[in-house]
Structure 1
């Protein structure tokens, strides 16, 4: 368990903050590139208009919660240059890896990074401000006593429902069947979300605009079959 996010955050963050020592280039990027892309952690009561984070107007704003090493986020930024993409990731090594991908491909203009927990950001965003959200291969927290730490559940689905636009897509993925069942149970019964699957291929096969992550590739090599879940935000009354 990590320490508190801070005296003003009101939330606790579970999991690692940092892994192996960073390579020289990634350490440099944390000091040089990250400050130009970083979103400060909002405090309770703060409000943040995501459109103001980008120098040029954006067709839409997307959010990835827990982007890991950043390969999926960088792919989406590369293929959707007119979309502003916000990534939240508390793991320093993952943030540094994403920064390397962004610099290599010149993707700094349409990506912004919160190197911390996503919940304060979700609380600060306006209603109906996000056009697509991704929560991919999150920590399954397999022990029963830790189930309430899973990001997709009763605590955060209302947050996501509030910030997602009507008709916006929520994409979830996991190779842990316990977590898959948990996410389905909670998201299917939530009144603001509709599962789009109509046949097995809809959750067994990734759409063309959903690239494989490094974690997913490792899971397949290990014999675990990922599941891909797509939900849409139902229209508000």
Structure 2
């Protein structure tokens, strides 16, 4: 049986979540119109790249290491890492266009020049990233999909983890932060099944944030509501 596809030829993928929120401010609309195209990592969409050729990351970023943030929310962590690590390049993917606009404003304010932005589904980006091209990936406070019947929509499932493992280098680091205990359990079961080893040796390794951590709006909300963050680190094996 052939894989269902969209009219453009792309594989058909269910998408669960929001792509648009409140009406954008004029300044945010301006960021999208003026900055987004220049920050593309390359032709990720099917219409621009119908044969799905891998991105030429060397042409785009030179010999820099490539990091990836999956679902960057408002972009504060991504910009923080970009400014703190100018020797690397960071690609962020986020389908929620309001979050993309917020990120673009932060990039302007910080003057970060080592970033690229894919305003869409991470799975589409995985299609065009070369194998073993990512040195570090961040999955920070992903959508928890709390109802049991929706757990298959979570990122920590084979549909996402298999292509993520393909594009990560041997020894590359995956960081996962979440305040949802059941998400922690699913992460610790599923991520090692797909080519990653949990690096924790002691409780502090998942109870304390990373040394270069910048708390996000989602974490601050979790703390206000009495939920406990977990910081999980995995290595690609």
- TM-score higher than 0.5: yes
Are 1:49 and 2:45 matched, yes or no? no
What are the ranges of 5 or more consecutive residues in structure 1 without an aligned counterpart? none
| Residue 203 of structure 1: aligned partner | 206
What are the ranges of 5 or more consecutive residues in structure 2 without an aligned counterpart? none
Which of these residues, 77, 90, 100, is aligned with residue 105 of structure 2? 100
Contact 2:44–2:128 (Cα < 8 Å) also in 1: no
Which of these residues, 25, 28, 31, is aligned with residue 26 of structure 1? 28
Which of these residues, 204, 210, 215, is aligned with residue 212 of structure 1? 215
Query: Partners in 2 of 1:7 and 1:224 — Cα distance?
Result: 43
CA RMSD of aligned residues (A): 1.6
Query: Partners in 1 of 2:7 and 2:93 — Cα distance?
Result: 17
* C-alpha displacement of 1:217: 1.1
State the TM-score, normalized to the length of structure 2.
Answer: 0.91
| Residue 151 of structure 1: aligned partner | 155
Contact 1:41–1:116 (Cα < 8 Å) also in 2: no
Query: Partners in 1 of 2:108 and 2:229 — Cα distance?
Result: 30
| Residue 179 of structure 2: aligned partner | 175
Contact 1:58–1:82 (Cα < 8 Å) also in 2: no
| Residue 227 of structure 1: aligned partner | 230
Between 62-71 and 150-159, report the one with greater CA deviation: 150-159
Change (3 A) 1:58 1:103: farther
Between 222-231 and 148-157, report the one with greater CA deviation: 148-157
Which of these residues, 89, 103, 106, is aligned with residue 84 of structure 1? 89
Query: Partners in 2 of 1:15 and 1:6 — Cα distance?
Result: 22
Are 1:8 and 2:12 matched, yes or no? no
Aligned residues: 227
> What does residue range 101-180 of structure 1 map to in structure 2 within 5 Å?
101-107=106-112, 109-180=113-184
Change (3 A) 1:143 1:180: same
* C-alpha displacement of 1:210: 2.1
Query: Partners in 1 of 2:25 and 2:10 — Cα distance?
Result: 30
Query: Partners in 1 of 2:58 and 2:104 — Cα distance?
Result: 21
After superposition, what is the alpha-carbon deviation per residue over 1:126-150, rounded to whole angstroms, capped at 9, x for unaligned? 1110000111111011112211111
Change (3 A) 1:209 1:6: farther
* C-alpha displacement of 1:59: 2.8
* C-alpha displacement of 1:82: 1.2
